[in-house]
Structures are given as structure tokens and as C-alpha cells.
Amino acid sequence: MPRFSRAELESFRGAEVPDLIGPGLRLLFVGINPGLWTAATQTHFAHPGNRFYPALHAAGVTSAPIDPSAGMSTEDRVAMVERGLGITNLVRRATARADELDRDELRRGAERLVDLVGRHRPAVVAVAGITAYRAAFAVPRAVAGRQPEDLAGATLWVVPNPSGLNAHETVDTLALAYAEPARAAGLLGG
């Protein structure tokens, strides 16, 4: 695992991480925005304390563990895309913390997401983070889980954020939450 100094990580403030999207997209996970470690490694959810990939594996969504902390391998990227999984963010610019984003930036991100979903046509979209979802889509009383409205033709879910800062979630609780949209996308059995 690489080690980055605070100054090295700060140099990635504002950087973008390309979407991980390929043909046959079935389930698109949406993060809030890239963290500095993610920007440094150019891999979504890459911070060593992030539980995204362990939760996907525990849920059976991925067939092998993925350790993205040094950057996702080409083989892992191919396996994700071939499985019909994709990853993007509401806001493209990297920050140290998601609370550095303002409501307008999140709302512009929601508009971009609607366009992206309309172009790529996943069966299911899963936004990771209820607070950011509420702000981005102007639904202050939304609750986690399946949303009553679709998003550009895709079934819409809101799932817990896998960041280590979301301390009341565990790999097991995240796995349960991530399995639901994966089942809806046809990636897991009933």
C-alpha cells in the first residue's frame, strides 16, 4: 500500500477520477465525490479505511476481493465491468471531506447524473450516502433503500456511505444494503 504525505494528498485537491463504466452496465454505484486518496490512486473508494469493496465481496456482488488502496488493477477493472458494475460520483472534484461540497454543487452533480444514467441505461442506480442524496435531489425527507421514483429510467436506491467516517456501518451491514440493489439489477439470486 502506498503512503502519501498530507502535502502529497493535498496536491490532488480538485482532481477528477474517471468513471468506471463499460458496456452492459447493470448496476451503477454513485459516490458523493472522490477523496484525496481516491484521486491520488485514480480508483474510486480507494482509501484503506473505506469498506466499499469488502462489502461488495461479502454480499457476493464481486467474486474475488479487491484491494484498491494502491489503485485498482486492470484485471479488477475488467472484472467489474464484465460483471455489469460501474462507479461514478455526484461531484467530480476531489476534496478531503464530502462536507466541503455545497448544495448547489451537489444539485449540479444530480443533473449530470441524470444525463449519465440516460446515456448508459443501467438497470439500477445506487447512491451511497443519504445526506448527499437529500441535498442533491432536493428530497429532505428521503430515507435509505428503494426510492419511489426512478432516475432516468433506472431503479433508484440510496445505500449507506462506505466511508470509514460512517462509523455506525460495518462491512456486514453495508453488504446487506448493497445486496438489495444488486438483486434488483439481476446480479444476485432472489
pLDDT recorded at residue 69: 85
Question: Which amino acid makes up residue 86?
Answer: G
Quick one: CA torsion of 129, 76, 114, 127, rounded to 10 degrees? -10
Q: How buried is 90 (Cβ within 10 angstroms: 0-12 exposed, 13-18 middle, 19+ buried)? A: buried
pTM here is 0.96
Q: What is the CA radius of gyration of the chain?
A: 15
Mean model confidence pLDDT for the chain:
95
190 pLDDT more than 70: no
CATH of domain 6-184: 3.40.470.10
Calculate ∠ Cα 86-89-93, nearest 5°: 135
The confidence band for 165, taking pLDDT boundaries of 50, 70 and 90, is: confident
Q: What pLDDT, in 10s, does the model give residues 45-93?
A: 999 889 999 999 999 999 999 998 888 999 999 999 999 999 999 999 9
User: Which residues contact residue 82 at a Cβ distance below 8 angstroms, ignoring those fewer than 6 apart?
Assistant: 22, 24
Question: Which 3 state secondary structure label does DSSP give 92?
Answer: coil
**Alpha carbons 12 and 67: distance in angstroms, whole number:** 21
Q: How far is CA 136 from CA 89, 110, 161, in A?
A: 12, 6, 15
Looking at residue 84, what DSSP letter applies?
T
